[in-house]
Amino acid sequence: MENKFWYGLLILVLIGCMGCSQKVEPVTQIVAKVDSGAMMIGGSGSNIALTRRLAAEYARQSGLKIEIPGSIGTSGAVKATQAGAVLLGLTSRALTSAEKAQGLKQIHYASVGLAVAVNSSVPDTEIDRQSLVQIYMEEKTTWNNGANIIPLSMFEGDSTNLVLQTEVPGFAAALQNILGRKNWQIIYSEGLMLEDLAKTPNSIGFIDSVALADSQGKIRAMKLNGVEMNAESLQTNRYPLKKELYFIYKDPIATSAKAFIDFCFSDSGRQIILSSGAVVPQASEDKQ
Protein backbone atom coordinates (compact mmCIF):
# COMPACT_ATOMS: atom_id res chain seq x y z
CA MET A 1 0.00 0.00 0.00
CA GLU A 2 2.82 2.43 0.90
CA ASN A 3 4.60 1.84 -2.43
CA LYS A 4 1.34 2.42 -4.32
CA PHE A 5 0.98 5.73 -2.52
CA TRP A 6 4.48 6.83 -3.60
CA TYR A 7 3.74 5.71 -7.15
CA GLY A 8 0.57 7.77 -7.40
CA LEU A 9 2.16 10.78 -5.75
CA LEU A 10 5.14 10.63 -8.12
CA ILE A 11 2.76 10.74 -11.08
CA LEU A 12 1.18 13.93 -9.70
CA VAL A 13 4.60 15.53 -9.14
CA LEU A 14 5.73 14.62 -12.64
CA ILE A 15 2.60 16.13 -14.14
CA GLY A 16 3.26 19.28 -12.11
CA CYS A 17 6.83 19.43 -13.38
CA MET A 18 5.64 19.57 -16.96
CA GLY A 19 4.74 23.19 -16.31
CA CYS A 20 8.22 24.08 -15.05
CA SER A 21 10.68 26.12 -17.11
CA GLN A 22 12.72 22.99 -17.76
CA LYS A 23 11.54 20.18 -19.97
CA VAL A 24 11.67 16.60 -18.71
CA GLU A 25 11.08 13.18 -20.19
CA PRO A 26 7.35 12.85 -21.12
CA VAL A 27 5.38 11.82 -18.04
CA THR A 28 3.74 8.89 -19.84
CA GLN A 29 7.17 7.44 -20.67
CA ILE A 30 8.41 7.85 -17.11
CA VAL A 31 5.30 6.33 -15.55
CA ALA A 32 5.45 3.36 -17.92
CA LYS A 33 8.94 2.54 -16.63
CA VAL A 34 8.12 2.77 -12.93
CA ASP A 35 7.71 -0.38 -10.86
CA SER A 36 5.25 0.52 -8.10
CA GLY A 37 6.74 -2.15 -5.83
CA ALA A 38 10.21 -0.56 -5.75
CA MET A 39 11.76 2.08 -3.53
CA MET A 40 11.47 5.39 -5.37
CA ILE A 41 14.43 7.72 -6.02
CA GLY A 42 14.33 10.50 -8.61
CA GLY A 43 15.66 13.83 -9.76
CA SER A 44 18.40 15.43 -11.83
CA GLY A 45 19.58 13.75 -15.02
CA SER A 46 23.18 14.45 -13.97
CA ASN A 47 22.79 11.95 -11.11
CA ILE A 48 20.88 9.22 -12.86
CA ALA A 49 23.55 7.16 -14.65
CA LEU A 50 25.77 6.86 -11.57
CA THR A 51 22.91 6.33 -9.12
CA ARG A 52 21.40 3.59 -11.28
CA ARG A 53 24.72 1.74 -11.16
CA LEU A 54 24.79 2.03 -7.39
CA ALA A 55 21.16 0.94 -7.15
CA ALA A 56 21.70 -2.10 -9.40
CA GLU A 57 24.52 -3.43 -7.23
CA TYR A 58 22.63 -2.63 -4.03
CA ALA A 59 19.62 -4.54 -5.37
CA ARG A 60 21.86 -7.50 -6.21
CA GLN A 61 23.26 -7.58 -2.70
CA SER A 62 20.15 -6.73 -0.71
CA GLY A 63 17.27 -7.95 -2.85
CA LEU A 64 15.56 -4.54 -2.53
CA LYS A 65 14.77 -3.04 -5.91
CA ILE A 66 15.23 0.70 -6.39
CA GLU A 67 13.34 2.47 -9.16
CA ILE A 68 14.93 5.58 -10.71
CA PRO A 69 12.74 6.97 -13.51
CA GLY A 70 13.84 9.46 -16.17
CA SER A 71 14.99 12.96 -15.29
CA ILE A 72 12.62 15.26 -13.44
CA GLY A 73 15.42 17.77 -12.83
CA THR A 74 16.71 19.20 -9.58
CA SER A 75 13.59 21.33 -9.12
CA GLY A 76 11.48 18.22 -9.65
CA ALA A 77 13.58 16.36 -7.08
CA VAL A 78 12.89 19.06 -4.51
CA LYS A 79 9.15 18.97 -5.20
CA ALA A 80 8.99 15.16 -5.23
CA THR A 81 10.95 14.83 -1.98
CA GLN A 82 8.95 17.51 -0.24
CA ALA A 83 5.69 15.86 -1.38
CA GLY A 84 6.87 12.43 -0.27
CA ALA A 85 6.71 11.01 -3.81
CA VAL A 86 10.31 9.77 -3.54
CA LEU A 87 12.29 8.62 -0.50
CA LEU A 88 15.46 10.22 -1.87
CA GLY A 89 15.74 13.08 -4.32
CA LEU A 90 18.73 13.54 -6.63
CA THR A 91 20.18 17.01 -7.15
CA SER A 92 23.23 18.24 -9.03
CA ARG A 93 23.65 21.29 -6.83
CA ALA A 94 23.41 22.04 -3.14
CA LEU A 95 20.06 22.95 -1.65
CA THR A 96 19.26 26.63 -1.37
CA SER A 97 18.47 28.23 1.99
CA ALA A 98 14.81 28.34 1.02
CA GLU A 99 14.80 24.63 0.18
CA LYS A 100 16.49 23.77 3.46
CA ALA A 101 13.86 25.85 5.23
CA GLN A 102 11.26 23.44 3.82
CA GLY A 103 12.78 20.76 6.05
CA LEU A 104 14.97 19.14 3.40
CA LYS A 105 18.47 17.83 4.13
CA GLN A 106 21.27 16.82 1.78
CA ILE A 107 24.11 14.33 1.56
CA HIS A 108 26.98 14.88 -0.86
CA TYR A 109 27.82 11.46 -2.32
CA ALA A 110 29.92 12.13 -5.45
CA SER A 111 31.47 14.68 -7.77
CA VAL A 112 31.41 14.31 -11.52
CA GLY A 113 33.60 16.16 -13.97
CA LEU A 114 31.91 18.31 -16.60
CA ALA A 115 33.75 17.57 -19.83
CA VAL A 116 34.13 19.99 -22.69
CA ALA A 117 33.14 17.21 -25.05
CA VAL A 118 33.44 16.92 -28.82
CA ASN A 119 32.41 14.46 -31.46
CA SER A 120 35.24 12.07 -32.33
CA SER A 121 35.53 13.74 -35.76
CA VAL A 122 36.96 16.93 -34.20
CA PRO A 123 40.77 17.13 -34.63
CA ASP A 124 41.40 19.65 -31.81
CA THR A 125 42.40 18.10 -28.48
CA GLU A 126 42.37 21.10 -26.14
CA ILE A 127 40.71 24.44 -25.68
CA ASP A 128 41.04 27.45 -23.38
CA ARG A 129 38.32 29.38 -21.62
CA GLN A 130 38.52 32.34 -24.00
CA SER A 131 38.09 30.16 -27.09
CA LEU A 132 35.15 28.41 -25.45
CA VAL A 133 33.41 31.75 -24.98
CA GLN A 134 34.26 32.77 -28.55
CA ILE A 135 32.65 29.58 -29.89
CA TYR A 136 29.40 30.27 -28.05
CA MET A 137 29.55 33.95 -29.02
CA GLU A 138 29.87 32.66 -32.62
CA GLU A 139 33.15 34.52 -33.06
CA LYS A 140 35.22 31.32 -33.45
CA THR A 141 33.43 29.21 -36.04
CA THR A 142 35.91 26.61 -37.36
CA TRP A 143 38.15 23.83 -36.03
CA ASN A 144 41.82 23.58 -36.94
CA ASN A 145 40.98 21.58 -40.08
CA GLY A 146 38.56 24.26 -41.30
CA ALA A 147 35.39 22.33 -40.47
CA ASN A 148 32.49 24.38 -39.13
CA ILE A 149 32.01 24.12 -35.35
CA ILE A 150 28.55 22.93 -34.26
CA PRO A 151 27.99 24.14 -30.67
CA LEU A 152 25.31 22.42 -28.57
CA SER A 153 23.81 23.82 -25.37
CA MET A 154 21.56 22.85 -22.49
CA PHE A 155 18.61 25.00 -21.41
CA GLU A 156 19.37 28.15 -19.45
CA GLY A 157 18.69 27.00 -15.88
CA ASP A 158 20.44 23.63 -16.18
CA SER A 159 23.20 22.86 -13.67
CA THR A 160 25.67 22.46 -16.55
CA ASN A 161 25.25 26.11 -17.48
CA LEU A 162 25.38 27.21 -13.84
CA VAL A 163 28.83 25.60 -13.55
CA LEU A 164 30.03 27.17 -16.80
CA GLN A 165 28.80 30.63 -15.86
CA THR A 166 30.67 30.38 -12.55
CA GLU A 167 33.94 28.93 -13.85
CA VAL A 168 34.29 30.43 -17.35
CA PRO A 169 34.41 34.25 -17.40
CA GLY A 170 32.18 35.62 -20.14
CA PHE A 171 30.21 32.41 -20.66
CA ALA A 172 26.99 33.87 -19.27
CA ALA A 173 26.88 36.42 -22.09
CA ALA A 174 27.82 33.76 -24.64
CA LEU A 175 24.99 31.54 -23.40
CA GLN A 176 22.50 34.38 -23.70
CA ASN A 177 23.73 34.96 -27.26
CA ILE A 178 22.92 31.42 -28.29
CA LEU A 179 19.75 30.86 -26.29
CA GLY A 180 18.40 34.18 -27.56
CA ARG A 181 18.32 32.90 -31.13
CA LYS A 182 14.86 31.71 -32.17
CA ASN A 183 16.28 28.99 -34.42
CA TRP A 184 18.56 27.55 -31.74
CA GLN A 185 17.94 23.94 -30.74
CA ILE A 186 18.03 23.68 -26.95
CA ILE A 187 18.85 20.33 -25.34
CA TYR A 188 16.86 19.33 -22.26
CA SER A 189 18.61 16.27 -20.84
CA GLU A 190 22.03 14.69 -20.38
CA GLY A 191 20.87 11.71 -22.40
CA LEU A 192 19.92 13.84 -25.39
CA MET A 193 23.19 15.78 -25.17
CA LEU A 194 25.06 12.48 -25.28
CA GLU A 195 23.07 11.33 -28.31
CA ASP A 196 23.46 14.60 -30.20
CA LEU A 197 27.21 14.83 -29.59
CA ALA A 198 27.65 11.23 -30.72
CA LYS A 199 25.72 11.64 -33.97
CA THR A 200 26.72 15.20 -34.97
CA PRO A 201 30.13 15.57 -36.68
CA ASN A 202 32.21 18.58 -35.56
CA SER A 203 29.96 19.26 -32.56
CA ILE A 204 30.96 20.53 -29.14
CA GLY A 205 28.97 20.45 -25.91
CA PHE A 206 29.21 19.51 -22.26
CA ILE A 207 28.68 16.12 -20.66
CA ASP A 208 29.48 14.64 -17.28
CA SER A 209 32.31 12.18 -16.78
CA VAL A 210 29.99 9.21 -16.15
CA ALA A 211 28.08 9.76 -19.40
CA LEU A 212 31.38 10.27 -21.22
CA ALA A 213 32.55 6.85 -20.07
CA ASP A 214 29.39 5.38 -21.66
CA SER A 215 29.94 7.01 -25.06
CA GLN A 216 31.91 4.07 -26.55
CA GLY A 217 34.54 6.37 -28.07
CA LYS A 218 32.07 8.44 -30.09
CA ILE A 219 32.75 11.44 -27.85
CA ARG A 220 35.95 12.58 -26.17
CA ALA A 221 36.89 15.25 -23.65
CA MET A 222 39.14 18.18 -24.55
CA LYS A 223 41.80 19.46 -22.21
CA LEU A 224 40.76 22.78 -20.71
CA ASN A 225 43.57 25.31 -20.40
CA GLY A 226 46.01 22.39 -20.69
CA VAL A 227 44.43 20.34 -17.88
CA GLU A 228 42.99 16.90 -18.58
CA MET A 229 39.80 15.89 -16.78
CA ASN A 230 40.60 12.86 -14.62
CA ALA A 231 40.19 11.70 -11.03
CA GLU A 232 43.38 13.43 -9.84
CA SER A 233 42.61 16.80 -11.45
CA LEU A 234 39.03 16.71 -10.15
CA GLN A 235 40.06 15.76 -6.62
CA THR A 236 42.67 18.52 -6.47
CA ASN A 237 40.43 21.07 -8.24
CA ARG A 238 43.01 21.63 -10.99
CA TYR A 239 40.24 20.83 -13.43
CA PRO A 240 37.61 23.44 -12.60
CA LEU A 241 34.43 22.11 -14.20
CA LYS A 242 32.52 19.66 -12.05
CA LYS A 243 29.12 19.00 -10.56
CA GLU A 244 28.40 17.98 -7.00
CA LEU A 245 25.80 15.25 -6.63
CA TYR A 246 23.52 15.07 -3.60
CA PHE A 247 20.84 12.89 -2.10
CA ILE A 248 18.11 14.97 -0.50
CA TYR A 249 15.55 13.75 2.01
CA LYS A 250 13.09 14.75 4.71
CA ASP A 251 13.67 13.91 8.34
CA PRO A 252 13.20 11.38 9.70
CA ILE A 253 14.96 9.52 6.92
CA ALA A 254 13.38 6.18 5.99
CA THR A 255 15.27 3.08 7.13
CA SER A 256 15.44 1.73 3.57
CA ALA A 257 16.82 5.03 2.24
CA LYS A 258 19.46 5.18 4.96
CA ALA A 259 20.52 1.61 4.19
CA PHE A 260 21.04 2.52 0.52
CA ILE A 261 23.04 5.63 1.45
CA ASP A 262 25.22 3.56 3.79
CA PHE A 263 25.90 1.21 0.88
CA CYS A 264 26.94 4.15 -1.33
CA PHE A 265 29.53 5.12 1.30
CA SER A 266 30.76 1.56 1.74
CA ASP A 267 33.90 0.25 0.03
CA SER A 268 31.72 -1.43 -2.58
CA GLY A 269 29.74 1.75 -3.28
CA ARG A 270 32.83 3.93 -3.45
CA GLN A 271 34.43 1.53 -5.92
CA ILE A 272 31.39 1.86 -8.20
CA ILE A 273 31.63 5.65 -8.00
CA LEU A 274 35.33 5.66 -8.88
CA SER A 275 35.03 3.08 -11.67
CA SER A 276 32.22 5.16 -13.21
CA GLY A 277 34.49 8.17 -13.75
CA ALA A 278 33.27 10.08 -10.70
CA VAL A 279 35.03 11.12 -7.50
CA VAL A 280 34.07 10.30 -3.92
CA PRO A 281 33.83 13.12 -1.37
CA GLN A 282 36.73 13.83 0.93
CA ALA A 283 36.32 12.28 4.39
CA SER A 284 35.49 15.67 5.88
CA GLU A 285 32.66 16.11 3.39
CA ASP A 286 31.04 12.71 3.85
CA LYS A 287 27.32 12.98 4.54
CA GLN A 288 27.46 16.76 4.73
Say yes or no to pLDDT of 5 above 50.
no
8 A C-beta contact, residue 227 and residue 129: no
Distance of CA 82 to the CA centre of its chain: 20
**Model pLDDT, residue 170:** 96
pLDDT digits (tens, 9 = 90+) for 224-257: 999 999 989 998 999 999 999 999 999 999 999 9
**Model pLDDT, residue 27:** 39
8 A C-beta contact, residue 210 and residue 276: yes
8 A C-beta contact, residue 65 and residue 43: no
Q: What is the DSSP letter of 188?
A: -
Say yes or no to pLDDT of 266 above 70.
yes
**pLDDT, average across residues 162-171:** 96
Return mean pLDDT, the chain.
86
**Model pLDDT, residue 37:** 62
Q: Quick one: pLDDT band at residue 270, thresholds 50, 70, 90? A: very high
Q: Quick one: pLDDT band at residue 10, thresholds 50, 70, 90? A: low
Say yes or no to pLDDT of 186 above 90.
no
**Model pLDDT, residue 190:** 83
Q: Which helix (H) or strand (E) holds 207?
A: strand 203-208
**Model pLDDT, residue 191:** 83
8 A C-beta contact, residue 48 and residue 90: yes
DSSP alpha helix (H) spans, the chain: 2-17, 27-33, 45-62, 73-83, 97-101, 129-136, 159-167, 171-179, 190-199, 209-213, 231-235, 255-264, 267-275
Residue 288, Cβ neighbours under 10 Å: how many?
A: 11
8 A C-beta contact, residue 108 and residue 264: no
- Classify 123 as helix, strand or coil: coil
Q: What is the DSSP letter of 252?
A: S
Say yes or no to pLDDT of 114 above 70.
yes
Q: Which domains does the chain have, with CATH numbers?
A: 2-111+244-285 (3.40.190.10), 113-235 (3.40.190.10)
**pLDDT, average across residues 112-122:** 97
Ordered DSSP codes for 71-121: --HHHHHHHHHHHTS-SEEEESSPPPHHHHHTTEEEEEEEEEEEEEEEETT
Q: What is the DSSP letter of 283?
A: G
Q: How far apart are CA 90 and CA 253, in angstroms?
A: 15
Q: Quick one: pLDDT band at residue 183, thresholds 50, 70, 90? A: confident
pLDDT digits (tens, 9 = 90+) for 131-153: 999 999 999 999 999 999 999 99
- Classify 62 as helix, strand or coil: helix
Name the residue among 31, 49, 50 with its Cα closest to residue 40.
31
